[in-house]
């Protein structure tokens, strides 16, 4: 009985001894020289060492592996050459010497899951969760074309209550018919009563099906993302028939007029409704009027990004270089361009302040 107990105890102890990993055992990741990445997967059995050596192109078994305490050696056959490798373990670090073509190359590796990894501060998932503030809840429109619950509707097809004439701030005198707003070229530019700073704008526009003339004279209008004065003062996102209508690239539909060529021409045919979705970040100015942060704009034309957070150089101008001029907030303006082509139309205009 006593003997049996002793035998079982001894066997149990032996199995524990066998299952305890030696200092060389495990997966090791590191480099030989400055940039030759290798991985070793090693296992000791008594003083025998087996496993694999690997690089980006695959793994090879190691040969003639021997372990003596923290020291070890093995060979690897690479392109028919036998390459002797020896090394030493210090904690979770492995230092190796590879004899290759008569040269000794040194390398160092780290044990996967070793103390270096373990000593990195362990964070809980909760530590990177931010619960406040909570984004306000808004109800989206029925489709992405429709105004969400927090939008300011600038034109819903009924009237021009939100708009005035740029010239004298009298009620806007463009044509509203069948839910559609059409440019009255004789009446001049119109702008919103309200001023805005940073916003998201949705606006739809249509070039008449039977449009005439060419280039800049064919369905020209514009959306001034900030109207900073009379006439065409401000920052114009060009509206034009750019469906098979050649003009200068920085003046076609989707351009920031004479500043930024659109990233693509996503124009639809005359007679089809088109969509601009715009994200406008207004410029900011210091007290002395110099620019603190320039304006940025993102424009999506018919679902296609045509301006990607473009940094403006200043107000858009017909002649000369763009320049900034201090303003705090400004109306959004629609252009009555002086060309002789048939007037174009707008519908479904809404804005969300950001």
Nearer to Mg ion, 220 or 307 (CB): 220
Q: Which residue of this chain has its Cβ atom nearest to Mg ion in the complex? A: 222
Q: Which is nearer to Mg ion, 36 or 248 (CB)?
A: 248
Q: Which of 220, 267 has the CB closer to Mg ion?
A: 220
Is residue 182 a contact partner of residue 152, using CB atoms and an 8 Å limit? no
Smallest gap from residue 222 Cβ to Mg ion (A): 3
In the complex, the smallest distance separating the C-beta of residue 166 from Mg ion, rounded to whole angstroms, is 14
Among 32, 20, 30, smallest CA distance to 93 is for 30
Provide the 10 A C-beta neighbour count for residue 50. Answer: 14
CA angle at 144 for the pair 143 and 150, rounded to the nearest 5°: 100
> Taking the mean position of all CA atoms in its chain, how far away is CA 298?
12
CA distances from 244 to 36, 51, 218, 253, 266 (A): 55, 67, 11, 11, 11
User: E strands within 112-184?
Assistant: 152-155, 163-165, 175-177, 180-182
SS3 content of the chain, % helix, strand, coil (to 5): 10, 45, 45
Choice between 62 and 253, CB closer to Mg ion: 253
CB of 303 to Mg ion, least distance (A): 22
When the beta carbons of 192 and 335 are compared against Mg ion, the nearer one is 335
Residues that bind Mg ion (CB under 5 A): 220, 222, 335
CB of 34 to Mg ion, least distance (A): 58
* Alpha carbon distance, N-terminus to C-terminus of the chain: 85
| Identity of the residue, 147 or 332, whose beta carbon is nearer to Mg ion in the bound complex | 332
Q: Which of 203, 209, 289, 199 has the alpha carbon at shortest distance from 243?
A: 209
Residue 158 CB, nearest distance to Mg ion (Å)? 26
Q: How far is the CB of 128 from Mg ion (least distance, A)?
A: 47
């Amino acid at each position: 009985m006593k003997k049996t107990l002793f035998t079982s105890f001894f066997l149990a102890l032996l199995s524990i001894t066998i299952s305890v990993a030696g200092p060389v055992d495990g997966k090791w990741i590191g480099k030989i020289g400055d940039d030759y990445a290798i991985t070793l997967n090693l296992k000791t059995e008594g003083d025998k060492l087996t496993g694999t050596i690997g690089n980006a192109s695959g793994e090879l078994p190691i040969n003639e592996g021997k372990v003596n305490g923290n020291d070890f050696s093995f060979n690897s056959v690479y392109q028919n050459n036998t390459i002797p490798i020896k090394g030493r373990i210090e904690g979770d670090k492995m230092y190796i010497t590879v004899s290759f073509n008569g040269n000794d190359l040194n390398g160092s590796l780290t044990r996967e899951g070793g103390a270096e990894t373990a000593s990195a501060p362990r964070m809980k998932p909760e530590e990177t969760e931010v619960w406040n503030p909570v984004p306000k809840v808004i109800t989206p429109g029925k489709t992405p074309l429709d105004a969400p619950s927090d939008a300011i509707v600038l034109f819903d097809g009924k009237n021009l209550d939100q708009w005035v004439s740029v010239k004298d701030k009298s009620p806007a005198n463009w044509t509203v018919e069948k839910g559609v707003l059409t440019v009255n070229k004789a009446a001049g530019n119109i702008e919103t009563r309200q001023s805005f700073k940073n916003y998201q704008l949705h606006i739809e526009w249509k070039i008449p099906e039977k449009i005439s003339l060419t280039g800049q004279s064919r369905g020209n209008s514009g959306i001034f993302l900030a109207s900073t004065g009379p006439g065409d003062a401000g920052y114009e996102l060009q509206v034009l028939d750019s469906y098979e209508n050649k003009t200068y690239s920085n003046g076609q539909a989707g351009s920031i007029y004479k500043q930024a060529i659109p990233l693509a021409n996503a124009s639809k045919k005359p007679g089809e409704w088109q969509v601009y979705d715009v994200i406008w970040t207004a410029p900011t100015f210091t007290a002395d009027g110099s620019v603190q942060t320039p304006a940025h704009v993102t424009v999506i034309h018919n679902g296609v990004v045509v301006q990607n957070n473009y940094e403006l150089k200043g107000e858009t101008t017909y002649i000369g270089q763009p320049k900034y001029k201090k303003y705090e907030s400004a109306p959004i303006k629609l252009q009555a361009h002086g060309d002789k082509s048939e007037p174009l139309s707008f519908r479904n205009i809404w804005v969300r302040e950001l």
